[in-house]
């Protein structure tokens, strides 16, 4: 899966990634490198968002496939002279109209499919980005890192600077906390029977 991740100040960030270790060779690492794509594929949040995206894709694909099968069936009938000979002029015209309507519907669903998938991909990237930003902020403060950048902003770097797994662990921690809060909130809400009794 391809993720659209705008990289700002790429040249400057790459210089920092390349130059910082040399300037502070004797000091502890104060730069963190994060692989955003790995955060998407390996974090609990990323997996949840990908699953939701796949569900949308599956539902729309089934719908489009159903229309394609109907179009294929109508195409076969319209190209079968024996079948057409058995139809009245009105019946043949109705068949052609149905074919045209299905073709337009197919094109419409195809456009919707690409739009929905693009929106879902943007939502995935934005949602994961917010978690990554929050996690890197906490980690940078705890480890006193002066710079944290996306791996894609660097041509090369020392693997000792990679904090991706630490970021994922922090993301998962936040994710679990929010999930627990959601469950707790749901448990406190009255059931339908309790609500009916109150009313």
Interatomic CA distance for residues 186 and 198, integer angstroms:
18
- pLDDT one digit per residue (tens) for the chain, 199 residues: 454 444 434 433 443 344 444 334 344 579 999 999 999 999 999 999 999 999 999 999 999 999 999 999 999 999 999 999 998 999 999 999 999 999 999 999 999 999 999 999 999 999 999 999 999 999 999 999 999 999 999 999 899 999 999 999 999 999 999 999 888 777 777 666 655 555 5
For residue 103, give Cα distances in angstroms to 61, 80, 98, 106, 117: 16, 19, 9, 5, 21
H or E stretch at 23: helix 10-23
A 10 A CB-CB count for 70 gives 15
Contact 19/149 with Cβ under 8 angstroms? Answer: no
Please give the pLDDT value at position 177.
Answer: 93
Give Cα 138 distance to the centre of its chain.
24
Local structure of 31: helix, strand or coil? strand
Please give the pLDDT value at position 33.
Answer: 96
What domains, with CATH codes, occur in the chain?
22-187 (3.30.910.20)
* Angle formed at CA 19 by CA 147 and CA 28, multiple of 5 degrees: 55
Please give the pLDDT value at position 186.
Answer: 76
107-111 own/partner pairs: CB under 8 Å, 24+ apart: 109/60, 109/63, 109/64, 109/67, 110/64
Select from 71, 184, 49, 188 the least CA-distant residue to 130.
49
Interatomic CA distance for residues 79 and 73, integer angstroms:
10
Please give the pLDDT value at position 184.
Answer: 79
């Amino acid at each position: 899966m391809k993720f659209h991740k705008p990289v700002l100040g790429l040249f400057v960030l790459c210089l920092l990634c390349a130059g910082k270790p040399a300037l502070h060779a004797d000091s502890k690492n104060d730069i963190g490198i994060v692989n955003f794509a790995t955060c998407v594929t390996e974090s609990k949040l990323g997996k949840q968002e990908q699953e939701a995206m796949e569900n949308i894709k599956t539902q729309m694909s089934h719908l489009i496939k159903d229309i394609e099968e109907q179009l294929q069936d109508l195409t076969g009938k319209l190209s079968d002279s024996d079948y057409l000979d058995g139809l009245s002029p009105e019946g043949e015209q109705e068949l052609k109209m149905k074919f045209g309507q299905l073709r337009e519907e197919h094109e419409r669903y195809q456009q919707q499919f690409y739009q929905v998938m693009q929106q879902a991909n943007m939502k995935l990237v934005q949602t994961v980005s917010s978690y990554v930003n929050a996690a890197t902020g906490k980690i940078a403060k705890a480890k006193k890192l002066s710079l944290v950048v996306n791996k894609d902003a660097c041509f090369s770097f020392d693997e000792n600077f990679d904090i991706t797994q630490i970021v994922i662990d922090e993301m998962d921690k936040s994710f679990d906390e929010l999930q627990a809060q959601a469950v707790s909130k749901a448990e406190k809400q009255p059931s339908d029977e309790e609500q009916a009794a109150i009313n």
